[in-house]
Structure 1
């Protein structure tokens, strides 16, 4: 059984990613095999986890994943010495209406896996008062074990003494105190952190985080506070792949793929053939399915518009075999993409969709979809769960709806996806499917 912890926080922006990456690298440098996880439907942070730990990081999401999937993914730590999951938003933040296994909060995962929680608390602008926050979190749900805290953005030795005194007064363990360091913050974009592949100096930055953690956090004490998650038992449950030979777009414009989806495809024996639309590469000629994941196509719209070889091969493939696009991939399958400056870029034209970033509007939340047409290996009527997060707006969508889509509370969502012939697209990123 592998011991584990969950690194969480009272809110977003407290510095838990810095702690997570520094801890992963410090343990790895000590020769400890660490299995990282990420709570919630985040497809950016896991790439940073992999860079820090050397292992694929898996999402654990209590709203969109059935219990069998959660247990199967947790068991990916069975050959590791230690497991660490990074929470999302605040520890108890989730949707109002729970799914079969929870409401999507990181606390659901801590509870299910039996992992103690270490809270990263931003103490800037306060001292002993931070203890009231820690106390509230420790008592909010007795089934979630708060092992202690890491104080972040500490201004001075005096500030640290006061904050520690507050924690000592209520019996909350302090694993460390991190001095304020503005130079350690990773750059962000509207979906969160700038992607790992976009950082030429990422390895050096993560090494800095590890050094920072070693100097200010009792890592041995953190390891000692972890508890083991017993194996789920029974046969692992992996979703079947949508095809046996899958051409997968993979470059700076198409990088939002969940590790558990790719792992399921690999374990089922599917051949994944990566290709780069930005390099004007065509999908593999013998692929049974072309899959365009999400990413940042709006940042590369000019190059994608000029990728004639890619577009021609994609259209040829679609005459006999399915093509599917998620979010950014969906937009590239459309007629056009209007960037933030109002410039219209011609896309593949396999769907009538036209999207715009000139009129930004946030679309965010869990999605449950029932397919109205086949979608890249999934049959009509299949039930899918996923997540949507983007700022583009639909200008035109003349094609038939791909699915009936609702949010986490069961309200109808206007972004239904669309299909034309063998080409399908949706704004939600697939997490799980039930045929």
Structure 2
């Protein structure tokens, strides 16, 4: 098989652009991966190549578990991993592009912004190469290059300074296909022709034959299942899922299908209802507090009433972030379900961002701009360091549990007993 990791020195350097072009080029034979806890990029990946993208997170999961996840989902001809932030960013938590590249021994390609520079690019590369001598950096692609002459200047300097780095090509600045595009969701929303034009333009000066040769990967077959065993239960889970509640790790969905005999997806935007025979309702994160998102679900009374009815029967609900907000009384003047006795407010500044430890023993990720108006009914503390001072971030009422923490279920079997009622 083939595998390649795309990284850079920071965010906004061209990773998404280059990854988009590669995923579209190999769309019938690629499995996308995203390093870290990101929910947005995997949605882009899926929109481009119609194959679910898998998160590789070595903070939430241990090394053997990450290896198993990668091996289990590498079911296509080529696996393309999109990095997080800069190449070494996240090392302090054990989950950077460097960490995943080293763990899986996957060759890394660095996107280097060449605008307004040439010799200095090689100096930057030297810093990246020598910061850790066990890195997997094997090649570079130069982005925002003004001309072929500009590219040759940088390429010759890199080849002069390094005998173990390939220069795979360049992407010119001011791409015509991006004249009216903001990087991000717009890329994934382009139609087939627009994506084709973008792909041709981005890859015009990239040596794909050399890239594919570089991507040759010796697969490490993982025979032992590195997670706790579980038994399939003859119960139904209802997963709330639509454009507002879409922050769902794909392996969490797969795991729930392995765990429960019946799985249904419920779309609140369409005012679908939760089945009466459902044992557990899962409400993922996403967007519910913004005006645009709230307007899409505020009149979904059939859905809301079915959820309230489920809670009143003392059945199980597990909710993350936006799901937590929906269980609350309100977010400012926006009325929610009122199942949990807590009110939230939307703030102009981020309240949490990054990895967190739960007092109950879970590890995960949090990112939100809301905060509770009081914490009298909160039950769990989220902290940046294990067993350290933090702030309350979860609420519970009978079998209803809502938390700001996003986590992965497969390696947190205690969730099954504590919150899923299994």
TM-score, normalising length from structure 1?
A: 0.86
Q: Give yes or no for contact 1:88–1:106 (8 Å, CA) kept in 2.
A: yes
* Aligned equivalent of 1:368, options 357, 373, 377: 357
**Aligned-pair CA distance for 1:219:** 1.1
2:232/2:258 contact within 8 Å kept: no
Pairing of 1:159-308 with structure 2 (within 5 A) = 159-171=150-162, 172-181=165-174, 183-184=177-178, 187=182, 193-194=184-185, 200-226=189-215, 227-235=217-225, 237=227, 244-299=235-290, 300-308=293-301
Residues 245 and 205 of structure 1: CA distance in aligned 2, closer, same or farther (over 3 Å): farther
Alignment partner for residue 370 of structure 2, among 392, 397, 402?
Answer: 392
CA distance, structure 2, for counterparts of residue 26 and residue 350 of structure 1: 47
1:87-118 deviation per Cα after TM superposition (whole angstroms, max 9, x unaligned): 1001111153x4xxxx1111111011110110
| Gapped regions of structure 1 (runs ≥ 5) | 339-343, 372-382
Contact 1:385 1:430 in 2 (8 A): yes
Equivalent position SS for 1:360: coil
Structure 2 distance, partners of 1:220, 1:104, is: 30
2:419 corresponds in structure 1 to: none
Say whether the 8 Å CA contact 1:245–1:286 is kept in structure 2. Answer: yes
* Structure 1 residues 404 and 47, CA gap change in structure 2 (3 angstroms): same
Shift of 1:364: 0.5
- Within 2, Cα distance between the matches of 1:255 and 1:22? 24
Q: Aligned partners of 2:327, 2:32: CA distance in 1, in Å? A: 34
| 1:175 CA drift (Å) | 0.5
Aligned with 2:116 (options 101, 125, 146): 125
Contact 1:40 1:60 in 2 (8 A): yes
Gaps of at least 5 residues in structure 2 are: 415-422
Between 295-304 and 329-338, the greater mean CA deviation after superposition: 295-304
Residues 286 and 434 of structure 1, relative CA distance in 2, 3 Å threshold: closer
Shift in Å, 1:272 = 2.3
For the 8 Å contact 2:237–2:260, the answer to whether it is kept is no
Q: Distance in 2 between matches of 1:387 and 1:73?
A: 18
Larger deviation: 167-176 or 255-264? 167-176
Among 312, 317, 328, which residue is 1:323 paired with?
317
2:44 is the alignment partner of 1:48 = yes
Conserved in 2, the CA contact under 8 Å of 1:367 and 1:428?
yes
CA distance in 1 between partners of 2:11 and 2:377 (Å): 38
Q: Give the 3 Å change call, closer, same or farther, for CA 263–89 of structure 1 in structure 2.
A: same
In structure 2, distance between residues paired with 1:335 and 1:72: 41
Q: 1:411 to 1:366 in 2, by over 3 A?
A: same
* 1:64 and 2:25 matched: no
Alignment partner of 1:420 out of 376, 397, 402: 397
Using the TM superposition, give the Cα deviation of residue 264 of structure 1 relative to its aligned residue in structure 2, in angstroms: 1.5
Give TM-score scaled by structure 2 length: 0.88
CA distance in 1, matches of 2:130, 2:26: 30
Q: 1:277: how far off?
A: 1.5
Equivalent of 1:350 in 327, 333, 339: 339
Aligned length: 403
Displacement of 1:266 in angstroms is: 2.1
Q: Distance in 1 between matches of 2:75 and 2:106?
A: 17
Residue number in structure 2 paired with 1:9: 8
* Partner residue in 2 for 1:375: none
What SS does structure 2 have at the residue aligned with 1:433? coil
Kindly state the Cα deviation for residue 27 of structure 1 after the two structures are TM-superposed.
Answer: 2.0
Contact 1:253–1:297 (8 Å) recurs in 2: yes
The 1:241/1:292 distance shift into structure 2, 3 A limit, reads: farther
